[in-house]
């Protein structure tokens, strides 16, 4: 039986990865300090004989007994409201945490996958963004604690790959949504859904013409696992290239929830990207992957989940 360590395994994407891996016959060790993760996301797994939960901060020394075939490093605050509230912890988890997990991979001969982000492209001057684009990032702005931490973690992973021959992978995750997102994490999909379900105005920043692409969680997990099993070592974008502006997203969510909410406008946050859309040609070429779930279908499933969460 293959054994895998998933850091950040009680988080949104991490918990869905734990589900899939456990369902695929793996022994899953979930590690999380619950800073932004939640036991609610993994409660249903706690009775499974091949699931372990370890409450631990990966920026501190890591000790895991036994062999480890794979390490998936997903620990990190991942929304602007979180990493701006927790700037030092965010930088620690993607520097010290990446260093510590790579050390475990080196010691145990594990294959290693780093969760990076489309934020490495910053406010891009190239659209859509291919992996070859080096980005346009403000290194001292309010988003830099996340953007630069992820850029550093990618450099560290590649250094371990080149220097110690660690079998590494890097996934650049674009906007992902679905059940188990925190309603208060500040990202646009849970924010809009929560506001619509409560009958509040939907908070659109700027003029609402800035665009994002939205990948449903099942598609994202499939892409990540295909990368994990591939032989490709350099970064790969995993996201949905379908592009929507914020006004379009707000209107779709109002329609799907049947809400009486209206749209309200607020100032655009500093360094907020104007566009964000993945070029997924490489994922298609090396992974044979492309997303399948349309935005309306994914949003309907996500809304059903949040109807149980929003009081």
Q: Are 104 and 64 in contact (CB under 8 A)?
A: yes
Query: What would the pLDDT profile of 166-193 be if each residue is shown by its tens digit?
Result: 999 999 999 999 999 998 888 999 999 9
DSSP the chain: --EEEEETTTSHHHHHHHHHHHHTT-EEEEEE--SS--GGGTGGGTT-TTEEEEE--TTS-----S--SEEEE--S--SHHHHHHSHHHHHHHTTHHHHHHHHHHHHHT-EEEEEEEGGGGBS-SSSSB-TT---B--TTSTTHHHHHHHHHHHHHHHHHHHHH---EEEEEE--EE-TT--TTS--HHHHHHHHHHHTPPEEEETTS--EEE-EEHHHHHHHHHHHHTS---S-EEES---EEEHHHHHHHHHHHHT----EEEEPPPTT--S---B--HHHHHHH-------HHHHHHHHHHHHHHH--
pLDDT greater than 80 at residue 271: no
Query: Does domain 188-210+243-276+297-309 match CATH 3.10.129.10?
Result: no
Is 204 in contact with 263 (CB distance < 8 Å)?
Answer: yes
Q: Is the dihedral of CA 221, 236, 110, 95 positive or negative?
A: negative
Exactly one of 70, 121, 146, 177 is catalytic; which is it? 146
pTM comes to: 0.95
Q: What are residue 66's phi and psi, to 5 degrees?
A: 85, 180
Q: Tell me what pLDDT residue 76 has.
A: 96
Instruction: Please tell me the CATH code under which domain 3-176+215-241+277-293 is placed.
Output: 3.40.50.720
**Predicted confidence (pLDDT) per residue in 8-45, tens digit:** 999 999 999 999 999 999 999 999 999 999 999 999 99
pLDDT band, residue 273 (cuts 50/70/90):
confident
Q: Which residue, 134, 273, 137, is CA-closest to 206?
A: 273
Cα(190)–Cα(310) distance, integer angstroms:
10
What the block records as the tokens of 196 is 């619509």
Spatial separation of the C-alpha atoms in residues 258 and 199, rounded to whole Å: 10
- Residue ranges covered by each domain of the chain: 3-176+215-241+277-293, 188-210+243-276+297-309
Confidence of residue 309 (pLDDT cuts 50, 70, 90): confident
Q: What are the tokens at 310?
A: 């929003």
What was the pLDDT predicted at 311?
Answer: 66
Whose CA is closest to 257, among 188, 196, 214, 194? 196
DSSP string, 293-305: --HHHHHHHHHHH
- Catalytic, 133? Answer no
């Amino acid at each position: 039986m293959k054994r895998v360590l998933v850091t950040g395994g009680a988080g949104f994407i991490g918990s869905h990865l734990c589900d899939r891996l456990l369902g695929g016959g793996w022994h899953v060790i979930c590690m999380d300090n619950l800073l932004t993760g939640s036991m609610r996301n993994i409660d249903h797994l706690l009775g499974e004989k091949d699931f372990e939960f370890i409450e631990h901060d990966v920026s501190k020394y890591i000790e895991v007994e036994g062999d480890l075939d794979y390490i998936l490093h997903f620990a990190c605050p991942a929304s602007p409201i979180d990493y701006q509230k927790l700037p030092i912890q965010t930088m620690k988890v993607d520097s010290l945490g990446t260093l510590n997990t790579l050390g475990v991979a080196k010691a145990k001969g594990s294959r290693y996958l780093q969760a990076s982000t489309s934020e490495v492209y910053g406010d891009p001057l190239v659209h859509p963004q291919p992996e070859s684009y080096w980005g346009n990032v403000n290194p001292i702005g309010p988003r830099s604690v996340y953007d630069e931490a992820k850029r550093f973690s990618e450099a560290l992973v590649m250094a371990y790959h080149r220097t110690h021959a660690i079998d590494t992978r890097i996934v650049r995750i674009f906007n992902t949504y679905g059940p188990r997102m925190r309603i208060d994490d500040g990202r646009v999909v849970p924010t809009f859904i929560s506001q619509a379900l409560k009958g509040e105005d939907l908070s659109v920043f700027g003029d609402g013409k800035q665009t994002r692409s939205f990948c449903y969680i099942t598609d994202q997990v499939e892409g990540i696992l295909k990368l994990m099993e591939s032989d490709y070592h350099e970064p790969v974008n995993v996201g949905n290239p379908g592009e929507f502006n914020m006004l379009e997203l707000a209107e779709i969510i109002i329609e799907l929830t049947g809400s009486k909410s209206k749209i309200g406008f607020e100032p655009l946050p500093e360094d907020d990207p104007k566009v964000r859309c993945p070029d997924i040609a490489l994922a298609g070429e090396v992974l044979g992957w492309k997303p399948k779930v349309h935005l309306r279908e994914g949003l309907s499933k996500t809304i059903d989940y949040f109807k149980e969460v929003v009081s």
